[in-house]
Chains A and B, each alone.
Chain A
Amino acid sequence: TQLLEQSPQFLSIQEGENLTVYCNSSSVFSSLQWYRQEPGEGPVLLVTVVTGGEVKKLKRLTFQFGDARKDSSLHITAAQPGDTGLYLCAGANYQGGKLIFGQGTELSVKP
């Protein structure tokens, strides 16, 4: 069974601080997606990484896929209250297209 360990599960920081969320697995994924979810809504896709070592940037968010495609990180620079939400990483299974989700990171950015 493939597992994705996401950490930290809870993070409360002040506006302007930087943070990093990690997703780790012992399994290889064909691709990995990051989602952001607000209360009472569905997850919104932020990015997909597919190549080992790939780095993608989305404004103040930087996503990295590990060289071996077993881990990924999300780094937010100068966090803002609008970044508050649940961040989910999800690895695409080779077989059948199921997504394996991490436990999620509940981020709270205080003004």
Chain B
Amino acid sequence: GAVVSQHPSWVICKSGTSVKIECRSLDFQATTMFWYRQFPKQSLMLMATSNEGSKATYEQGVEKDKFLINHASLTLSTLTVTSAHPEDSSFYICSARRQGASEQYFGPGTRLTVT
């Protein structure tokens, strides 16, 4: 298999607080993990690429100080949304990729609502 989990599946937080989302590859080692954001009825928008043990690479327009990514092990990456605002409300999805492979396996997503 190639199972990726995300936690939490949904979270509601108040404006100004920080939220951490975890992404885990359950049955394989993921040298690379990706974080996406998705708006309703739209495709996925890549936010950043995370390689184990190194700094994440952020896509143009994504604030690295606001969306903190840590990939501390081959099975875990975290995304922390700092000082969240209502406009950060979205569906966040992670994916994981084995070394040398092209396929990405996606987590079930996290619905973030900032009030």
How far apart sit A106 and B42, CA to CA, in the bound complex (Å)? Answer: 9
Q: A40-B109, A97-B97 are in contact. Are A48 and B102 (CB under 8 A)?
A: yes
The size of the chain B interface, using a CB distance under 8 A, is: 25
Q: Is the interface of B mostly helix, strand, loop or mixed?
A: strand
Minimal beta-carbon separation of A95 from chain B (angstroms): 11
Q: In the complex, A88 Cα to B42 Cα: how many Å?
A: 10
Q: Is the CB of A41 within 8 A of B102?
A: no
Query: Which of B43-51, B69-77, B80-88 lies at the interface?
Result: B43-51
- Flag A35-60 by CB within 8 Å of B: 1 or 0 each: 10000111111001010000000000
Q: How large is the interface on A (under 10, 10 to 19, 20 to 34, 35 or more residues)?
A: 20 to 34
Tell me the minimal C-beta distance from B111 to chain A in angstroms.
7
Count CB-based A-B contacts (< 8 Å).
59
Quick check: B102 and A104 within 8 Å, CB to CB? Answer: no
Q: Are A41 and B108 in contact (CB under 8 A)?
A: yes
Inter-chain CA distance A90–B97, complex, in Å, is: 14
Cross-chain contact of B49 among A41, A90, A98 (Cβ < 8 A): A98
**Complex Cα–Cα for A33 and B79 (A):** 25
In the assembled complex, 17 residue pairs joining A and B whose CB atoms fall closer than 8 Å, in A order, are: A31-B102, A33-B102, A40-B111, A42-B4, A42-B6, A42-B109, A43-B44, A44-B106, A45-B103, A45-B105, A86-B41, A97-B49, A97-B97, A102-B43, A103-B42, A104-B42, A104-B43
Nearest first, the 3 A-B pairs at minimum CB distance are: A42-B106, A92-B102, A104-B43
